[in-house]
Chains A and B, each alone.
Chain A
Amino acid sequence: MDKIDINYIKEKLKNSYDVKYREIQCDVGTIYGVFIDDLCDSKFISEYIFNPLIQNKVNTVDLEYIKREVLPANSIGDINSNDEAIYHILSGDLVLVFSFTNKSFYCEAKGYARRGVGIPVTENVVKGPREGFTEAFVDNVSLIRRKIKNPSLKFETIILGNKSNTVTVLCFIEGVAPKKLVDYIRKKVTNIKLEFMLDTNYIEEALKNTNTAFDTIGTTEKPDVAAAKLLEGRVAIIVDGTPFVVTAPYFFIDNFQTPDDYYANKYFANASRIMRLVSFVLASLVSGLYMAFSTFHFSLIPTIITLRLAVTRAGVPFPTVIEVLLMTFFFQLLREAGIRLPQVIGQAMSIVGALLLGDAAVGAGLASQTTILIVALSSIASFLVPKIYGALYIWNIVIILFSSVLGLPGFYIGFFMFISHMSGLESCGYPYLFPLGTLESFKFKDLFYRKDLSSISNSIFDKDDYNEEV
């Protein structure tokens, strides 16, 4: 064990107003207390660390006695190097350095400002737990612990980011999560070379497929969702400083599952899930089909609809493809503006946007009512599956373009490319479309509709997955 050098610490942490040094003189030498004011509970340090130390100056030679009998702090540990001392200081611990001995130790005294457990903004539920993760990883760990009281639930810490030293926690249930999956993710996460880490996306990018708009790694703000994933055998990754927790692997079908599916009446939940699946089909294909039918294959449209289409488009100066792309772009503008603006202004903007797109565009002859209906239908349908909104938006454009060039054959090309692209994706070594299109045994009883909770509350992985080595 190296002697901890207080001057080294001072040199490293110089020019930081919030780093506090407290010296306590005793008969055998000096005790240095180093801590960061913003990260520590000053009252706790004064009352339960410095005060007992001052009261027991005579006993300071026996450090083990101090740890055991004098300091009431709940977590005290030895420090073996200067860098470790600095890490603990920066993590919100108090480091005690003794001039008269090589030993030094830290006392946990964290007391920084943190947000309370709130309702997650991105995952609303009608029924079920409302608490959400916070930015403090310790809170997030405790939220999961409270859901799963199981000794096999493991939390492994990994420090990532050369400059930020961010605490990242790998969370899984031993024996439920396949070992090869845990090893795969651990290896991937450990190998992340970053200067700093501010969000889970740094982890997601390392784990997920590149060159795709689909998210092959899931995130959640809800501890109950994370707990459910862990119980299914997946792995969660908590990153300090963000309320989003990564879950892996993440499959295509996960995009259609919501917490409400498991907390609400089964039949209504299933109807909602089927509606989300239909929405996905609508959002990705309806514009392309409209494009193909209304510009190539008139014989496939009923006469009365053909007549209405011809009438509503009369006077629109642009070709249908430009019109559809233009309106899709307008909707995208509206959506972006709605997200970026404060909520109060956002509502006003929505009204202006609805007027602009619904009426003014038709009045100005920029678009036909039918096109607006189709684009609006496609956009609204994509809002039902918000987790794949980005992918749907991009693929929708691709399919529209193919359909506008070749009609239905083009639509088929776009559609097949879309399907083959999804089929080629993987999430942590598992096919993204799992269990669709795989020869794995069909253990996932929570696919297009939810079965009874008693029959789906188990691991989603196949028995073979537990026997495979990395």
Chain B
Amino acid sequence: MKKYKKMLVISSIIMNCFIMSSCFSYKDINRISFVTAMMIDVDDSGSPVIYAEAFKGTRGETGQGMDQRVLVKGKGKTIFEAARDMNAVSSYKLNYTQNKVILFTQKAAEFGVGDFIDFLDRDQEFLLRPYITIYTGDPEKLMTTDLIQEKYIGILIRQIIENIGASSRAVTLTFNDFYNQRLMGDKTNVVTIIDFKKDALEAKLEINGGAVIKKDKMISILAKQEGQGYNFLLNHTKSGTLEITNPCDINKFVTLEILKSKTKTEISYDGDIVHLKKKVKVKVDFGEAQKSIIFTKENINKIQEQSEENIVKACNILFEKYKGMGIDIFDIQEKFDEKYPKIKIQGDIINKTQLKVEVEVEIMNTGDVKNFQ
């Protein structure tokens, strides 16, 4: 009886595992093409066109093996059909588990991404890890350009996005956040825009602001310069720089390096107006001064005050712009719903919102020249 029970338990575990393993099946890693970037475009009739960049291992001449960049394109009435169409020309099955970025062309984004993203959510190979971006140029040009920095566009875009600490103006968004935001509050997302850098010496990609997507359709572009205000308001700033007029010479600048930034949001409703208060605390280090600077208490105070003013100004300008457009890219609706779940405000909430930004900049270190070499 004991033996029978033991066998029963073992069989149940094994059977359970067959069920748990779902559609995964044995596949040798060298017999798969791994997609690193996937771009979704639409043709004139609104049908999806997919471009995918993938890598696969091939036998090298020396027997050591080498990686090969594979570009495939697929068309179909639906995105699934287009994905299947891509497999028809690929020697190995395309696998999306290593996909780093999903790019929508501007045309596809303006057409509406709603028709395409269900497949990307439903299919188990598509993960929520990749970044979502909008590409504003010619899709074929992007896929076929040889970039010196990195062979694979997907990996390069991910590296650029993850290196974003260098800039406080860039906007980033993962697919996971995109899925959350498209269903919450005002259903508005700000998605990274990727483009070729105009004045670069060689072909280079850059993050060039953000695309405002409301209810799955791109409706506006957040300029790169507006990114700073957006990031401060949304508590997305991790690092970056603030450029302030040099108090010793009004024609010159000083640069402050952002070490840490924290934005606290308070929302209140008086029955008529929604009061949105953003308390921004920024810790900065003194980065550089054009010409020279004398660190007197007065000068430091001036720098501090001016940097605070700049942040307040950037935030207010951006807020007013989108208030005018009636687009809530600041998650006001979400915050309001969290605090007042029973109150429904008619119309766009941003039109009834007053923003108050309180900024506190703390200069941690005025800096010494540390290295004479």
Contacts and interface: CB of A to CB of B under 8 A. Distances in A.
Contact of B65 (A294, A296, A312, A406): A312
Interface string B15-51: 0011011001111111010101000000000000000
Interface string A307-319: 1011111111001
Interface residues of A, number: 34
A146 interface: no
Interface stretch (A189-197, A267-275, A410-418): A410-418
Interface string A274-304: 0000000000000000000011111100010
B67 A310 contact: yes
A315 B60 CA distance: 8
B17 A307 contact: no
Contact of A294 (B29, B63, B98): B29
Contact of B27 (A295, A306, A363, A405): A295
A223 interface: no
B66 interface: yes
A319 B100 CA distance: 27
Contacts of B65: 311-315, 368
B63 A307 contact: no
A91 interface: no
B100 A303 contact: yes
B63 A365 contact: yes
Q: B-side binding surface: helix, strand, loop or mixed? A: mixed
Given A363-B63, A406-B18, A413-B13, A313 B28 contact: yes
Interface string B225-267: 0000000000000000000000000000000000000000000
A362 B63 CA distance: 8
Contacts of A409: 17-18, 20-21
B21 A310 contact: no
A249 interface: no
A239 B29 CA distance: 54
Interface in A405-461: 405-407, 409-410, 412-413, 416-417
Given A311-B67, A409-B21, A303 B30 contact: no
Contacts of B14: 413
Given A307-B55, A413-B14, A416-B13, A314 B98 contact: no
A320 interface: yes
A298 B28 contact: no
Given A310-B30, A310-B32, A310-B57, A407 B21 contact: yes
A414 to B, nearest CB: 10
B160 interface: no
B59 A315 contact: yes
Contacts of B98: 298-299, 303, 306
Interface in A362-397: 362-363, 365, 368
Contact of A299 (B26, B55, B66, B97): B97
A320 B29 contact: yes
Contacts of A406: 17-18, 21
A404 interface: yes
B151 to A, nearest CB: 10
Given A315-B63, A406-B21, A407-B21, A307 B34 contact: yes
B34 to A, nearest CB: 6
B18 A314 contact: no
Contacts of A417: 10
A413 B12 CA distance: 11
Contacts of B127: 299
Contacts of A307: 34, 55, 57, 67
A310 B66 CA distance: 9
A305 B95 CA distance: 15
B145 interface: no
A470 B306 CA distance: 87
B63 A310 contact: no
A313 B57 contact: yes
Given A303-B98, A315-B63, A295 B17 contact: no
A256 B18 CA distance: 36
Interface residues of B, number: 34
Interface string B45-80: 000000000011111100101110000000000000
B29 A319 contact: no
A407 B30 contact: no
A310 B56 contact: yes
Contacts of B125: 299
B155 interface: yes
Nearest to A318: B28
Interface string A227-242: 0000000000000000
Contacts of B25: 296
| Residue of B34, B60, B100 contacting most chain A CB atoms (<10 Å) | B34
Nearest to A295: B26
A423 B55 CA distance: 45
Contact of A303 (B27, B36, B66): B36
B63 A298 contact: no
A314 B28 contact: no
B17 A319 contact: no
| Residue of A365, A368, A407 contacting most chain B CB atoms (<10 Å) | A407
Given A298-B95, A413-B17, A303 B57 contact: no
Contact of B57 (A311, A363, A413): A311
Contact of B60 (A303, A309, A314): A314
B55 A310 contact: yes
Given A309-B29, A310-B29, A314-B57, A298 B21 contact: no
B24 A316 contact: no
A312 B36 contact: no
Contacts of B55: 307, 310
A314 B58 contact: yes
B26 A316 contact: no
19 contacts: A294-B29, A295-B27, A296-B27, A298-B95, A303-B34, A303-B155, A310-B29, A310-B30, A310-B57, A311-B66, A313-B30, A314-B59, A314-B60, A315-B60, A362-B63, A406-B17, A406-B18, A407-B21, A407-B24
Q: When A and B form their complex, which 7 residue pairs have the shortest distance between CB atoms, in order from nearest?
A: A314-B57, A310-B57, A299-B97, A314-B65, A409-B17, A313-B30, A315-B59
Interface of A: 294-299, 303, 306-307, 309-316, 319-321, 362-363, 365, 368, 404-407, 409-410, 412-413, 416-417
